[in-house]
Structure 1
Amino acid sequence: MDVQQSAAGNGRLYKLAVSSLAALIFISLAWELWLAPLRPGGSWLALKALPLCLPLTGILKGRVYTFQYSSLLVLPYFAEAVVRLFDASAVSRACSAAALLCSAAFFAACLAYVKQRRKAVGNV
């Protein structure tokens, strides 16, 4: 794979990671504040979106270390989405399915991005 193809692949993975992280933050907030909160009027569980905001700057700057640790940070969100897929409310199930998709896409994009960046540097 030449440098140009590697850069194109990194660009797609970068865009996928940024968009899936932003979508996961949005879904987490909307889910707990408006769409299907645990309590009427919103829930304090919306604060779960705050840890997702921590790596946002590093992800936007394309820092490999941030991609590495945030791939582990997203795993509890994946687990929560799997558990809440079996919720009684249809809206909550839809939100958890969207969160499941976003967290899985973010995790996969992070791993692939780090792998390609390390391969490009020769640090495999």
Structure 2
Amino acid sequence: MSPALERTEPTAAERLSRQLAFFSTALLCVLCAAWELWLAPTGRGTLAIKALPLLLPLPGLWRYRMYTYRALALFIWLYVLEGLVRSTSESGAGQWLALTEVVLSVVIFTACTAQIRQRLAAAKVAESA
């Protein structure tokens, strides 16, 4: 690998977008589990299983794995859709939890997209140098 393409320390903006993506994903995972288990459970709490897929990208986010950011930016829209549907079909606490899910999901998407764009721009600059 040429010295120009070697990975250096992440910039402050990259660290910020990584931390935002990581902690928002962890928070969304906790929210989904708490929502379905004791805050406003639907049925017997079996929908809490929706929190499990959110655990998978956490190690990749922490290690700056580009494919993890790309994959999460794609599949987070499932949580946005679920939150939008449930925010219009539920009332009370369930509605507010659904809106919180939508907000966290959009934050995750934005942070992942920022991370991808920053890293691609840095690679392009390093390549031309």
Q: Which runs of 4+ in 1 moved over 3 A?
A: none
Q: Which residue of 1 aligns with 2:18?
A: 14
The percent identity for this pair of structures is 36
Report deviation, 1:15: 1.1
Please give the alpha-carbon distance, in whole angstroms, between the structure 1 residues aligned to 2:72 and 2:90. 30
1:1-124 residue pairs with structure 2 within 5 A? 7-39=11-43, 42-122=44-124
> C-alpha root-mean-square deviation of aligned residues, in Å?
1.4
Gaps of 5+ in 2: 1-9
Amino acid at match of 2:41: P
Please give the alpha-carbon distance, in whole angstroms, between the structure 2 residues aligned to 1:23 and 1:87. 23
Residue-by-residue CA offset, 1:26-85 (whole Å, 9 max, x unaligned): 11001100101112xx41110011111111110111111110011111110000000111
TM-score (norm 2): 0.85
Please give the alpha-carbon distance, in whole angstroms, between the structure 2 residues aligned to 1:90 and 1:11. 37
Amino acid at match of 1:94: W
For the residue of structure 2 that corresponds to 1:19, the secondary structure is helix
Please give the alpha-carbon distance, in whole angstroms, between the structure 2 residues aligned to 1:96 and 1:109. 20
For the residue of structure 2 that corresponds to 1:86, the secondary structure is helix
Gaps of 5+ in 1: 1-5
Please give the alpha-carbon distance, in whole angstroms, between the structure 2 residues aligned to 1:88 and 1:68. 31
Aligned length: 116
**Max radius of gyration: which structure?**
2
Q: Which residue of 1 aligns with 2:3?
A: none
Please give the alpha-carbon distance, in whole angstroms, between the structure 1 residues aligned to 2:108 and 2:90. 27
